[in-house]
Amino acid sequence: MPLVRVDIKKNPDPTFAKRIGEVIYAALRSEINVPEHDNFQVLAEHDDQHFVYDPQYLGIQRSDGIVFIQLTISEGRTVEMKQRLFQTIARNLNQQLTVRQEDVFINLVEVKKENWSFGNGIAQYVT
């Protein structure tokens, strides 16, 4: 665990999505104790017609630089850990890649440990 999905508008820098993923992985390691090498990500870029967002929902002013991040993780983290994770991702994307913090949209999905198979058709976390 986790499985990270990142969706952005097409970026002229071909390394941009991968660098976003690196920032997220570092935050997962520091804030919710993700083990080394537990790095699984799907990074996707979209054209204008396949990338929809509300520019003002909840009073947050979003731009075309919005980054959608979906994190699927195992249950068990505290609310405080999740809040720190969100803050760290937003701050570090801003500081390292100049992504506006208003443009960092994160959705965290928690699943039971038995819902993972990392290969070979085996639920490795089932005890």
Active-site hit among 2, 12, 14, 55: 2
pTM: 0.93
Q: What pLDDT sits at residue 51?
A: 94
Per-domain residue ranges of the chain: 3-115
* Cβ neighbour number for residue 111 with a 10 Å cutoff: 14
- pLDDT tens digit string along 45-86? 999 999 999 999 999 999 999 999 999 999 999 999 999 999
Q: How many separate helices (H) and strands (E) can be counted in the chain? A: 2, 4
Q: What pLDDT sits at residue 104?
A: 98
The CATH number of domain 3-115, selected from 3.40.50.2000, 1.10.260.40, 3.40.50.2300, 3.30.429.10: 3.30.429.10
What are the distances in angstroms from CA 67 to CA 3, 7, 64?
Answer: 16, 6, 9
Residue 2 annotated in active site = yes
